[in-house]
Amino acid sequence: MSLSIRNQIPGTVTSVTTGEAMATVKARLDGGQKITAAVTADAVQDLGLAEGSSVRAVVKSTEVALATGPVGGLSIRNQLPGTVTEVSAGAAMATVKVAVTGGELTAAVTREAVAELGLSAGSSVVALIKATEVALATD
C-alpha cells in the first residue's frame, strides 16, 4: 500500500496500555527517542501490537508543529529534537524538512511561522507531535 504520509520513522514497541476503547502505545524509535501513540484498542488487536513489535510511527506533516527549543508545561510528550535541512515556502504555507536521529520529518507550517521562528537550513528545532496524531503501522 502506498501512502502520501512521508513521516514514517521505524521503532519498537516498549509498552501497550489498553483500555475499553483506546490504548496508549509507547515505542522507542530507531534513533533512540521515545514516542507515544494513542490508538484504538481495536487497532492494537488488529495489528498485533505488543512489547517488542516492530512498528513505524506515521505522522501527517500538517500535524507536526515546530519550536525553537524544548517546550515545558504542555501535555505534548512527543518532542523530538532535530535540525532544519530545508525550507520551501509558498505564498501562505511552507514545508520544513527536519533531520532527527534515525530519520527525517516534514512539517507543514505557515510561512509566517517560518519567519517568526527564523527557520532556515541549520536551525535547531524541536518537533512537537500530539500522541493522538501518531498512527502506528507494522510491516
Proportion of the chain above pLDDT 90, given as a percent: 94
Q: Give the β-pairing of 93-100 and 54-59.
A: unpaired
Identity of the residue numbered 63: E
| Nearest CA among 69, 75, 49 for reference residue 135 | 49
Collapse the DSSP code of 77 into the 3-class scheme (helix H, G, I; strand E, B; otherwise coil) and give the result: coil
Q: Is 39 left (phi over 0), alpha (psi -120 to 50) or beta?
A: beta
Confidence band of 1 (pLDDT split at 50, 70, 90): low
* Cell numbers at 125, concatenated: 528545532
**Residue pLDDT, tens place only, 8-53:** 999 999 999 999 999 999 999 999 999 999 999 999 999 999 999 9
Q: Are 16 and 49 spatial neighbours (Cβ–Cβ below 8 Å)?
A: yes
pTM of the model: 0.91
Alpha-carbon Rg for the chain, nearest whole angstrom, is: 15
* Measured distance CA(100)–CA(122) in Å, rounded: 12
- Per-residue pLDDT of 67-107, as tens digits, reads 999 999 999 989 999 999 999 999 999 999 999 999 999 99
